[in-house]
A and B are shown apart, each in its own frame.
Chain A
């Protein structure tokens, strides 16, 4: 057909929260007949990842005004926009072929439809949570089963019955946040190489040396070392390396190792809250909400410092008597033995890894200005460390990169993506808005405390992954929430919540396990008696900070 004129139809498709709807199907009808000459699939056009579509419709003379041109927009899990009449077109000039060109532009809003796909996503999300919470199967396997089941159903049942199609493979991959994956992988390699130097155990020995025989002094210094280390490195690794040497010191000075280990692991969870890289929930929040390393430092670190100081006082009250029981037989001999046992084993490797870690942290600090995702900084640091240290790349990749965790993250992103795609997340967000009665203060308290209590009982990673889009919706829709305040509420809740119970954080379980192996089991209730009050204290400080300082 040689057209006499062109009608350019441009549109944007969004959900009720103003979020673009990609992969929606746009069909054009001219006088009731479907227009068939467009993209590769006949007249069917798909919206882009930004939710936009653009159609150049060639028409015969007068058709723009004389014909009935209609649009139909559909997508699984959304209510179809039926036959929208294109009218009020504007004359826009001439096309390249010198034919008159008309223009029509509109933003369409699609509302979610709680169909079979919605319920499939909801059921799978709940099942994955149950499997993880009760440790029925490995958390990575639980997430992998959930993600693959969603895709499998989409490409089997969904092929024949579109209402069962949950999400496409392309969309699933799009939901995976590779900044988070690269950041975790890079830091795992850097820490894995660094720990070979013996720096962590050396720090514990130095803490003992500087405490000069005061057990409370030792506890405070060890807590500070643990908190600062955890702010930059993974909490589990920090506790894994510090626990054996702490138990050893405790056994030699005749105090219960538990009285040193619980303060340490609580400090580790508190310290991990301070920075973007301190705890996985912060990494996820930073990446999703595009918050910089400095944003975390400014908004979270002051609260962490206050909480840490109060925690020190609480530990003195709780364990003061136990510390007084210490019997240090020969301080000098013990210090000498520890200095031989826990020395820096590879000074060259420590220098190289120290410089590179400092460089990576500098890049984190500058990443806002450089527009460099933190994942790029971490993976670059890891690559250069491997190059300059001469460490065989196979070893850290085999031993230090926690592949099961990375796969866990990838699968979770897909599951949460499916929940977002089907409207489940939006439904949760809407419920939170209803519960908060439109008040930002109530919303902050809800996000903060619900996150903390949930994180005390289940893995905070899947919870944070689910909450990311929820908080994003709240931030967009709740009056006054357009700052970053709700993100900080989520970060405080998810990280501090780990102190609420023994199973609240992996670092707690690892520490308890090692302590048990040395004959000093830490019971669920025994931990909760100390950890839960510390969690409540930290949440009160965070609540006051957010409501009275940040708002």
Chain B
């Protein structure tokens, strides 16, 4: 058994669907725990729209989206035949993962890289550019789709 706890980031993209299924298969084959995470990082909005802080309306909407996407990921895990946990994390993506992965005793991080293809990047904390940092600071293996 190589991995004990597989953590997979869910973001709703086609690449993410592949990552979710593969994470479930790896967890099943290794007899490992499986956790799906939805990262609610709206930090990019502070540059463009500081108004986001008010009312929690945005957070509520994002929570609902997260629950929906995690629910779909959960269905994939069940199809593979493995139970899973689902969790929503709020804050800066990179910081959250660096803190949370060791706490969870995760040893494999599965994620997708969905490029927006913007002329100017809108989120300077993009996960794909930070994945090396996460690997170095947490010591977990990473598998990207």
Residues of B near A200 (CB, < 8 A) are 57
Give the contacts of A501-517 with B (CB-CB under 8 A). Answer: 501-503, 506, 509-510, 512-514, 516-517
Q: State whether the Cβ of A198 lies closer than 8 Å to any Cβ in chain B.
A: yes
- Chain B residue at minimum C-beta to C-beta distance from A457: B119
- In the complex, are the beta carbons of A517 and B62 less than 8 A apart? yes
A251 within 8 A of B: yes
A192 to B69, CA, bound (A): 29
Q: How far is the CA of A200 from the CA of B55 in the complex (A)?
A: 12
Asked if residues A244 and B61 are in contact (CB atoms below 8 Å), the reply is yes
Query: Which of A399, A514, A526 interacts with B54 by CB under 8 Å?
Result: A399
Residues of chain B in range 32-88 having any CB-CB distance to chain A below 8 Å: 40-42, 44-45, 47-55, 57-58, 60-62, 64-65, 68-69
Q: How far is the CA of A524 from the CA of B57 in the complex (A)?
A: 27
Say yes or no for B118: interface residue by CB 8 A criterion: yes
The answer to whether A404 touches B44 (Cβ under 8 A) is no
CB pair B49–A523 under 8 Å, yes or no, is no
A188-210 contact mask (Cβ, 8 Å, vs B): 1 or 0: 10011001101011000000000
Among A323-354, those with CB < 8 Å from B are 341
Contact A240 B122 (CB under 8 A): no
B-side contacts of A503, CB under 8 Å = 118-120
Given contacts A510-B45, A516-B114, A519-B69, contact A502 B50 (CB under 8 A): no
Verify B55–A341 contact, CB threshold 8 A.
Answer: no
Complex interface: chain A residues within 8 A of B45 (CB): 240, 510, 513
Bound-state Cα–Cα, A503 to B40, Å: 23
The listed residue (B13, B65, B123) touching A248 by CB distance below 8 A is B65
Minimum CB–CB distance from A265 to chain B (whole Å) comes to: 13
How many angstroms between the C-alpha atoms of A394 and B69 in the bound complex?
36
Query: Inside 8 A of A135's CB, which chain B residues have their CB?
Result: 120
| A502/B118 in contact, CB under 8 A | yes
Does A241 contact B58, Cβ atoms closer than 8 Å?
yes
Task: Please measure, in the bound complex, the distance between the C-alpha atom of A518 and the C-alpha atom of B70, giving whole angstroms.
Answer: 11
CB of A548 within 8 A of chain B? no
Complex CA–CA separation, A520 to B14 (angstroms) = 9
User: Are B118 and A240 within 8 A (Cβ)?
Assistant: no
Q: Report A-chain residues with C-beta under 8 Å of the C-beta of B42.
A: 513-514, 517
Q: Please determine whether B50 and A404 come into contact, CB atoms closer than 8 angstroms.
A: yes
Number of A-B contacts (CB under 8 A): 129
Any chain B CB within 8 A of the CB of A134? yes
Instruction: State the interface size on chain B (CB cutoff 8 A).
Output: 36
Contact in complex: B49, A506 (CB < 8 Å): yes
Q: Which residues of A are found within 8 Å of B51, using beta-carbon distances?
A: 188, 191-192, 234, 236-237, 240, 399-400, 402
Residue numbers in B under 8 Å from A518 (CB-CB): 11-12, 65, 69
Report A33 CB to chain B, min CB distance, Å. Answer: 61
A521 on the B face (CB < 8 A): yes
CA distance A341 to B60 in the complex (A): 9
Tell yes or no: A245 within 8 A of B by CB. yes
Q: How far is the CB of B47 from chain A (nearest CB, A)?
A: 7
CA A237 – CA B57 in complex, angstroms? Answer: 11
Binary CB contact string for chain A from 219 to 240 against chain B (1 if under 8 A, 0 otherwise): 0000000000000001011001
- The answer to whether A251 and B117 have CB atoms under 8 Å apart is no
Tell me, yes or no, whether A310 is within 8 Å of chain B by CB: no
Q: Which residues of B contact A513 (CB under 8 A)?
A: 42, 44-45, 48, 122-123
Known: A402-B50, A518-B11, A518-B12. Contact between A502 and B119, CB under 8 A?
yes
Flag whether A525 is at the interface (Cβ < 8 A).
Answer: yes
Q: How close is B114's CB to chain A, nearest CB, in angstroms? A: 6
Tell me if A76 is interfacial: C-beta within 8 Å of chain B: no
Q: Which of the residues B40, B57, B116 comes within 8 Å of A523, measured between beta carbons?
A: B116
B16 within 8 A of A: yes
Whole-angstrom distance between the alpha carbons of A400 and B16 in the complex?
Answer: 35
Does any Cβ of B come within 8 Å of A83's Cβ? no
Question: Which residues does chain A contribute within 8 Å of B53, judged by CB atoms?
Answer: 399-400
B58's partner among A240, A399, A525 (CB-CB below 8 A) is A240
A429 interface hit (Cβ, 8 Å): no
Do B57 and A247 have beta carbons less than 8 Å apart? no
**Which of chain A's residues have a CB closer than 8 A to the CB of B55?**
192, 195-196
Q: Which of A237, A240, A525 contacts B117 (CB 8 A)?
A: A525
Please, which residue of chain A has its CB at the minimum distance from the CB of B115? A521
| B120 and A195 within 8 A (CB) | no
| Residues from chain A with Cβ under 8 Å of B48 in the complex | 236, 506, 509-510, 513
Q: Is the CB of B57 within 8 A of A192?
A: no
- In this complex, what residue of B is CB-closest to A252? B68
Least CB distance, A160 to chain B, in whole angstroms: 40
Q: How far is the CA of A501 from the CA of B117 in the complex (A)?
A: 13
| Cβ distance A336 to chain B, nearest Cβ, rounded Å | 15
Complex Cα–Cα for A192 and B57 (A):
11
Closest B-chain residue to A337, C-beta based? B64
Q: Taking beta carbons and an 8 Å cutoff, which residues of B are in contact with A?
A: 11-13, 16, 40-42, 44-45, 47-55, 57-58, 60-62, 64-65, 68-69, 114-120, 122-123
Additional pairs, 4, CB under 8 Å, beyond known A195-B57, A518-B65:
A248-B61, A519-B69, A522-B116, A523-B116
Chain A residues within 8 Å of B, Cβ to Cβ: 134-135, 138, 188, 191-192, 195-196, 198, 200-201, 234, 236-237, 240-241, 243-245, 247-248, 251-252, 341, 396, 399-400, 402, 404-405, 501-503, 506, 509-510, 512-514, 516-526
- Jot down 28 A-B pairs with beta carbons below 8 A, ordered by A: A192-B51, A192-B54, A195-B57, A196-B57, A200-B57, A201-B57, A234-B51, A240-B52, A244-B57, A248-B64, A248-B65, A252-B68, A341-B64, A396-B54, A399-B53, A506-B49, A510-B48, A512-B122, A516-B122, A518-B65, A519-B11, A519-B69, A519-B114, A521-B114, A521-B115, A521-B117, A522-B116, A526-B117
